[in-house]
Structure 1
Amino acid sequence: MLIAAVLVLIVLGSLLFHFLSPWWWTPIASNWGYIDTTLIVTFWITGAVFTAVVLFVAYCLLRFRHQPGRRAAYEPENRRLELVLTVGTAVGVAAMLAPGLVVWAQFVQVPEDAAEVEVVGQQWQWSYRLPGEDGRLGRADTRLITPENPLGISPHDPSGQDDVIVEAADLHLPVDRPVKVVLRSVDVLHDFYVPEFRAKMDMIPGAVTYFWFTPTRTGTFEILCAELCGVGHAFMRGYVVVDTEQDYQAWLGQQTSFASLTGGAARADAAP
């Protein structure tokens, strides 16, 4: 009976902690409220299952507790119970997966009018690249990285000459404009995560990943690395500043292009 009481208290404590806890999500600052909804659906389903299972165990402890003269009944197989558990589990798993699949489909379908920003992760800092006046990012390769070319931009691609380079500084974005975030890592696994945007993605060496979002309010938001990437993992932080269109254009005009960074040494028409 004591164990049954403890189990009931665990259920009650878990429910109270969930509903009364002061630790909740940060206020959202992007269009991905769908992700919050998906998490809430998952909490409801897993919470209901957890409560039902623990209370059922408590009931069994009371209902079938040891009593003098009582003997356990041996039932090696129960097809009806197996069918109910199998169907119930399948329905529960499908109910958790379905909202996530819908949100994932939206997460990777980038709007045609989205601006493009490249995020480069490196132990242990964030750097960024934005398209120049041509609206296109040039080719890049980690094998081309040098002190003068920190992001490995190809000097033979004309589209890369006007690319805007932001090295180990804050990233600025305009409010209410969709952004496609292209992700690269030059060394190990990283993960670009801004809690207020509810959007994150792994950065895999040798591969390019992406996601998109629309900032919905101005402000300064901290960037975290959500993938253990070495001894400096906890210090791999930065900031995204969401500006009004006027402030964003003023900031953009102060940044350095790839051609300016290399001092004209990297010519687009140079022989490969």
Structure 2
Amino acid sequence: MAVAFALLLVAIASVLFHLFSPWWWTPLASNWQYIDDTITLTFWITGAVFTAIVTFMAYCVFRFRHKNGTRAAYEPENKKLEWWLTIGTAIGVAAMLAPGLVVWHQFVTVPAGATEVEVVGQQWMWSYRLPGKDGRLGTSDARDVSSDNPLGLNPNDPNGKDDVVIQGDDLHLLVGKPVKVLLRSIDVLHDFYVPEFRAKMDMIPGSVTYFWFTPTRTGTFEVLCAELCGAAHSQMRSKVVVDDEKDYRAWLDKQRTFAELSGQRNVAKAAYKTDTGK
């Protein structure tokens, strides 16, 4: 009796903790309400199954408890019960997978007119690249990575000369404008994640992954690395600032292009050689 009562308390307490828990998602700041809805549906299905199973266990413990003089009935199989369990399980799994597949299709289908933004992860910092006035990002190659070219941009690609390079600083985005986020890692696995945007994706060395989202409200949001990437993983932080049109243009005008940064580095190197005589 006590065990059955304890099982019921576990089921009830688990449901109440989920419904009234102070730990929940951060307020949404993107178009991905679909992701929240899909997770909520999964919670309802798994919660209902969990409650049903624990309640059934409590019933069995109480109904078939030991009684002097009573012997258990042996039933090696029950085809009717097996069919019900098989069909019910298939329906539950399909109900969880189908919405996820629909949302995944939306997640990887980038709308026309989305702005491309490149995110580069490396131990242990974030860097960003935005297209210049030509609206196109230049190519890059890991073989071009050096102290003078930390993002590995192709110096011979004319499309990359006017690319805006932001290294170790905040990324600004325009509110209400769809963004295709191109993800690239220079060293190990990383994962670019802003909780308020919901969207995230692993960054795999040697390949470019992507996702898209639309910022729906202005504000400053923290960037986290959601993939264990080394000793300073927890310190790999940055910020994404979502601006209105005026503030975004003001910020963008202050940024440096790849050509400008390369010119500054060349001047610095020439000055160093002159001063040192090397």
- How many angstroms apart in 2 are the aligned matches of 1:228 and 1:265? 33
After TM superposition, where is structure 1 displaced by more than 3 Å over at least 4 residues in a row? none
- How many angstroms apart in 1 are the aligned matches of 2:176 and 2:133? 21
The TM-score with structure 2 as length reference comes to 0.94
User: For 1:1-272, what aligned pairs fall within 5 Å after superposition?
Assistant: 1-263=1-263
CA offsets 1:29-78 (integer angstroms, 9 cap, x no match): 01000111001100000000000000000000000111111111111111
Aligned-pair CA distance for 1:265: 8.3
215-224 or 18-27: bigger deviation = 18-27
- Equivalent position amino acid for 2:213 in 1: F
CA offsets 1:74-98 (integer angstroms, 9 cap, x no match): 1111111111111111100000011
- How many angstroms apart in 2 are the aligned matches of 1:81 and 1:207? 49
Aligned-pair CA distance for 1:126: 0.4
> Percent identity at matched positions?
69
- Equivalent position amino acid for 1:61 in 2: V
- Equivalent position amino acid for 2:9 in 1: L
**Residue in 1 that maps onto 2:270:** none
- How many angstroms apart in 2 are the aligned matches of 1:239 and 1:112? 26
CA offsets 1:107-133 (integer angstroms, 9 cap, x no match): 100011100000001011100000011
The TM-score with structure 1 as length reference comes to 0.96
- How many angstroms apart in 2 are the aligned matches of 1:6 and 1:36? 32
Q: How many residues align?
A: 266
CA 1:134–1:264: 2 relative to 1, 3 Å: farther
- How many angstroms apart in 2 are the aligned matches of 1:175 and 1:49? 40
8 A contact 1:148–1:261 mirrored in 2: no
- How many angstroms apart in 2 are the aligned matches of 1:5 and 1:188? 50
Aligned-pair CA distance for 1:247: 0.8
Aligned-pair CA distance for 1:198: 0.9
